[in-house]
Amino acid sequence: MASKVLDGGWGWAIVVASFMAQFLAYGSPQSVGVLYPEWLHTYQQGKGLTAWVGSLVSGVGLIASPVCSACVDNFGARPVTIFSGVMVAGGLMLSAFAPNIEFLIFSYGIVVGLGCGLVYAATLTITCQYFDKRRGLALGIVTTGTSVGAFIYATAQNELIMLYGLHGCLLIIGALALNLMACAGFMRPLNMPGYYLKQKAALERNTEEQIFEKPQLGDLKMTAGSTTATPEKTLGVKELLITIDAKDLAIQTTKKKGSSFSGFDIIKVIKDKWQAYSKYIHSMSEILQDQAMVAFCIGVFMFSLGAFPPGLFIEDVAQSQGLIEEVSLIPLVSIGAIAACVGKLGLGILVDIRWINSIYLYAFTMFAGGVALLIIPLTNSYIGLQILSAIVGFANGNWSLTSYITTKIVGLEKLTQAHGIVMFFGGFGIILGPPVVGWFFDWTQSYDLAFYFSGSFVLLGAFLLTLLTLPCCNGKHPENDKSEVIYTSSCDKVASVA
């Protein structure tokens, strides 16, 4: 049974496979700053237009996360990971033959970006299914695959470009991404995906013996992931709704046998769907009426817009300042990536300390990152850029605080919807940030004004987040009395916010 394989056993194989999947998928997109100068030289386009490639590959997956989660929910982690492997590898290989920057925006920015979003949703969902008490540790190990991938791929892509050129580098990286399909082989599902449950429900609905002979509650009790009915285990919410829907249709078919469906039935179905969507929209509007939630969304957007571009432009900054001779074996992108990995783990430990306010901790990381961005234009040494890259990278580790802060603001019941809103604002900022900085350079032929703008924007976001969440301004004390963390065994809820 599923309970016997939680928190161990094959679950650790899932962790390793998911870690490698994120490593292979996100290695190149997270270290896209190494490829950016090569694209500028190859296509001879403006920095603003070229920056769309790096911004889209990181932001598209976040904005499309609800769609990616729905795919995993319906088809399962293994098929989605296999399909995403084809997307990531195909996008990288197509990018090697891109005739212009517009095609590169599609092949690398959109195709690879969507593939990465699918990998992220699939790996988190399958990890949640296999872990309960150690879920936080398992998810922490899996999500560090992106940072480790960025650290290694930055150096690897530098060497591959020197040996085989930009086209050869992308072809080799794309070939490595095909190993995502091997990682998918380890993702043995515990729960039957929604697509197969719907097929099973349809078969049962078309079988007259099951319609007339079985009691109504007989189909509602069965082991998750099994087709054998038992009185001991009950289905999850998703499976329950599917089975109830199938049973209701079967009963309606029995009652109306020999007669056609009336227009009233169709109107009733449309009305029920409309009520469900209206309730969802109303819930979203209630979340956005919370002042602390709005402040946090603004803070995430402003930080993403200002602090994400350095990872894309920092290598070009070093070259434009004539520091290319000082480039070491470890690129600036790698330093930022490993600092982000340390930041995720360090901030995750700090936020569990009872007297630390998570919102103010997030605001502090914004302040530190904003100050570092303002100092970058004043730095005239490669060592200085390395230190500042580490500070900005560590500040970027605050991404691991988003689900914790969202839970503190809206509670566990509204966590899924609220975190989806936060992810949208973060993805929107990531998409807009690099093109804005690139346009500043095209306008002034210098990165100075662009980084002054980014740093000021991040500092303004830190100020607004702190001001709007003060007890005197917000009217409530979100974290003065930290309650105990309530753990849930709902894999869908945890996966959607991890």
Asked whether residue 177 falls in the same domain as residue 290, the answer is no
The CA-atom distances, in angstroms, between 239 and each of 227, 234, 454 are 12, 9, 47
* 39, 161 contact by CB (below 8 A): no
- CA gap 166, 428 in Å, rounded: 29
Range of the domain at 145: 1-188
Q: Which of 145, 167, 188 is the last residue of a domain?
A: 188
Query: Which helix (H) or strand (E) segment is 226 a member of?
Result: none
Both ends of the chain: CA-CA distance in Å? 25
In a shared domain, residues 170 and 301 = no
Burial class (CB in 10 A: 0-12, 13-18, 19+), 397: buried
What are the structure tokens assigned to 175, written together? 């070939």
Same domain, yes or no: 298 and 418? yes
Least confident of 23-27, 129-133, 179-183, 417-421: 417-421
What's the rounded Cα separation, in Å, for the pair 140 and 145? 9
**DSSP one-letter string for 315-369:** HHHHHHTT-GGG--SS-HHHHHHHHHHHHHHHHHHHTTSTT--HHHHHHHHHHHH
| 392 part of a folded domain | yes
- Do 171 and 285 sit in the same domain of this protein? no
Q: Does 490 fall in a domain?
A: no
pLDDT above 50: residue 437: yes
State the total domains in the chain.
2
Lowest mean pLDDT among 42-56, 167-181, 403-417: 403-417
Query: Would residue 484 count as lying in a domain?
Result: no
Tokens, residue 210: 């099951």
Higher pLDDT, 95 or 440: 95
In a domain, 421, yes or no: yes
| Residues 54 and 170 grouped into a single domain | yes
* Greater pLDDT, 257 or 181: 181
* DSSP assigned state of 262: P
At residue 497, the pLDDT reads 44
Q: CA nearest 336: which of 397, 277, 280?
A: 397
> % helix / strand / coil in the chain, to the nearest 5?
80, 0, 20
Q: What is the mean pLDDT of residues 28-43?
A: 86
Identify the residue with better confidence: 213 or 383.
383
383 within domain boundaries: yes
User: How many C-beta neighbours within 10 Å does residue 278 have?
Assistant: 10
4 or 377, which is more confident: 377
pLDDT at 47 over 60: yes
Q: Say yes or no to pLDDT of 154 above 60.
A: yes
Residues sharing a CB contact under 8 Å with residue 464, sequence separation 6 or more, in sequence order: 295, 298, 299, 302
- Give the model's confidence band at 233: pLDDT under 50 very low, under 70 low, under 90 confident, else very high: very low
Cα torsion 432, 435, 441, 447 to 10°: value is: 60
Lowest mean pLDDT among 45-59, 310-324, 456-470: 310-324
Please state the separation of Cα 82 from the chain's center in Å.
Answer: 18
Q: What is the pLDDT of residue 139?
A: 72
Q: Per-residue pLDDT averaged across 160-177, rounded? A: 92
What span, in angstroms and rounded, lies between the C-alpha atoms of 334 and 435?
Answer: 22
User: What is the domain-level CATH number for residue 117?
Assistant: 1.20.1250.20
- In-domain check, residue 411: yes
pLDDT tops 60 at residue 397:
yes
Q: Distance (Å, rounded) from C-alpha 379 to C-alpha 384?
A: 6
CA-only gyration radius of the chain, Å? 25
Give every CB contact of residue 174 below 8 A, 6+ residues apart in sequence: 88, 89, 90, 91, 92, 93, 95, 96
**Average pLDDT estimate for 427-435:** 83
| Helix (H/G/I), strand (E/B), else coil: 233 | coil
Clarify whether residues 184 and 308 are in a common domain.
no
Q: Which of 111-115, 123-127, 143-147 has the highest mean pLDDT?
A: 111-115
- Say which residue, 361 or 288, is predicted with more confidence: 361
350 lies in the same domain as 462? yes
User: Would you say residue 477 lies in a domain?
Assistant: no
* 316 within domain boundaries: yes
167 vs 398, more confident: 167
The chain-wide mean pLDDT, for the chain, equals 76
The mean-pLDDT minimum among 40-54, 159-173, 223-237, 399-413 falls in: 223-237
Domain's final residue, options 148, 168, 188: 188
* pLDDT(436) > 60: yes
**Residues 285, 184: one domain?**
no
User: Which of 166, 188, 210 finishes a domain?
Assistant: 188
What pTM does this model have?
Answer: 0.66
Q: Which DSSP string corresponds to 363-429? A: HHHHHHHHHHHHHGGG--SHHHHHHHHHHHHHHHGGGGGHHHHHHHHH-STTHHHHHHHHHHHHHHH
pLDDT confidence band for 232 (50 / 70 / 90): very low
Do 24 and 45 touch, CB atoms closer than 8 A? no
pLDDT band at 453, cuts 50/70/90?
confident
